[in-house]
Structure 1
């Protein structure tokens, strides 16, 4: 077997009920001994990757829920980018998405993303496009296999139109005619799973989503009763949690996420500070500019009033009556009386 490929083809689907029952019983017994907080949850992208790479039964169950397919239809599952679990990774650059070929007739990218770095739409398009370039040399364009990128996100891409599980396709913006169903993106929004919509429309996927955000072993124990696939995932999570090499990699990913979050928070604070400084500077400039404009405007008004007063003084000295002065200057009788006192 190539070190660059994990072949899980010909998954045995004809397990006897006795074997399955024993597995479920053993799994449940192991889970009952676990209590308290989960040290490395499935939102840790390394643990997420490790559990699904190690336990193909859990992976098959999750994919079936995400793609609305019966599990028995997923006969051939190949992980195209396996990692050696426990080996060191470059936590700054390693992308822990799972690249999968299903039944030799479609490709799937699957990733867990806990923090919003502001570029997920662009990044998902990049990964999807990379996978879509799967045309064999000399092959026909019609032979390109469908590609699906699924992001399990702990944030909302579009808060104003948040949807717990959304699918995006290329389509006509007027008629909504789908251009091609070979190129699609799906997003499972973990922040929206308690709206009731996902539980109603896709209950199996809802329980998987609950598993991803579970914080205690007690929660996982309850969820493991919902499906054998979830039971498998919980058992594997327990096993990997006790592996020191896996622990180190999970801690490295958590430190990376904390560093990214701190950098983002610092960037926001620094941006606000610089914005205030720039705003004050621009405000002073704008204030001076507006002051000049206002000064000119007030100067013109004041000049006009002063001109009217001078005209009124001349008219009073020439012996013209108040009515004529009001007519030609627009001054009030009170203004004229004040001017008369200065003239006299």
Structure 2
């Protein structure tokens, strides 16, 4: 058994974990360049032959004591020395997610401008790619969408800031072109529920990813890091569910004993502490609990 009481699968089929686990996602595409090359080819709709150089800018040492807190774990890539990609597996709904993605992308632009000898003509595009298990805009549900800066007639202002969103829940609406470029196969790989299902996908890059998944889930240190992340996700979802239920109960009991209100404030503070321990951004904790950012910081 592993540190979480799970059978490790040693000597037999390794335990399966979905690529929607962002730690596993990061491991697979950091460690297997063929899988990463194929994924980028599909996401950007470019031939693999045009991918000459891939540099992962944020590799991680998984054998060290791994921080399973729910901080953002994107995969930052410099492609062909002429564009930056931020690829993230996003399975949590963040308040103001679009604003957050803009801030993250603009940081990459600022980082470029801070380089010694920088000139405006040297600015390289930054493409933020989010793979989501939910729909970002309920009134605009699409499987794969590219957002760019342009006017009302579609004339581009600049290509330096772009946002791609893959909605895994909308794969049934994929176009023929999206299927041809391999996006449907990748979506199937991300949402596969077991080894048999993911191994049935006939895509060379996906097969490389699956091969790397097996290696990772057979390596104790890496497997423990993957499970730690999963447990942190479960804790987070449990806290959020509890908070929603308590919020509804509070609404029904509004106006009751003042002592209960005081107890409620203590409970909010406790939830805020637990969310801080999971690495949730302060502004998100404030929105969930109703506490001020100053109060949360002082906990």
Task: State the TM bucket, normalised to the shorter chain.
Answer: 0.7 to 0.9
Q: 1:149 maps to what in 2?
A: 128
Q: CA deviation at 1:266?
A: 1.5
Q: 2:203 maps to what in 1?
A: 227
Counterpart pick for 2:171 among 193, 198, 203 = 193
More helix by share: 1
* SS of the residue 2:254 aligns to: helix
Q: 1:90 maps to what in 2?
A: 67
Q: CA deviation at 1:199?
A: 5.3
Seen in structure 2, the aligned counterparts of structure 1 residues 192 and 175 have a Cα distance that, compared at 3 Å, is same
TM-score using structure 2 length: 0.76
The answer to whether the 8 A contact 1:38-1:215 is kept is no
Q: CA deviation at 1:140?
A: 1.7
Structure 1: distance between partners of 2:176 and 2:243: 37
Structure 2: distance between partners of 1:198 and 1:89: 40
* SS of the residue 1:82 aligns to: coil
Does residue 214 in structure 1 map to residue 200 in structure 2? no
Counterpart pick for 1:165 among 144, 148, 167 = 144
* SS of the residue 1:75 aligns to: coil
Larger RCO (alpha carbons 8 Å, 6+ apart): 2
Does residue 265 in structure 1 map to residue 244 in structure 2? no
TM-score using structure 1 length: 0.66
Seen in structure 2, the aligned counterparts of structure 1 residues 277 and 178 have a Cα distance that, compared at 3 Å, is farther
Q: CA deviation at 1:60?
A: 0.4
Q: 1:14 maps to what in 2?
A: none
Structure 1: distance between partners of 2:15 and 2:169: 19
Q: 1:62 maps to what in 2?
A: 39
Structure 2: distance between partners of 1:171 and 1:153: 24
Q: 2:118 maps to what in 1?
A: 139
The answer to whether the 8 A contact 1:163-1:189 is kept is yes
Seen in structure 2, the aligned counterparts of structure 1 residues 194 and 280 have a Cα distance that, compared at 3 Å, is farther
Does residue 104 in structure 1 map to residue 81 in structure 2? yes
Moved over 6 A (4+): none
Structure 2: distance between partners of 1:162 and 1:118: 18
Gaps of at least 5 residues in structure 1 are 1-33, 282-344
Seen in structure 2, the aligned counterparts of structure 1 residues 59 and 267 have a Cα distance that, compared at 3 Å, is same
Q: 2:160 maps to what in 1?
A: 182
Does residue 48 in structure 1 map to residue 25 in structure 2? yes
Greater Cα shift, 134-143 or 182-191: 134-143
1:255-334 matches, cutoff 5 A: 255-278=231-254
Structure 1: distance between partners of 2:70 and 2:141: 29
Structure 1: distance between partners of 2:65 and 2:142: 36
Q: CA deviation at 1:177?
A: 3.0
Gaps of at least 5 residues in structure 2 are 1-11, 258-299
Count of residues in correspondence between the two structures: 244
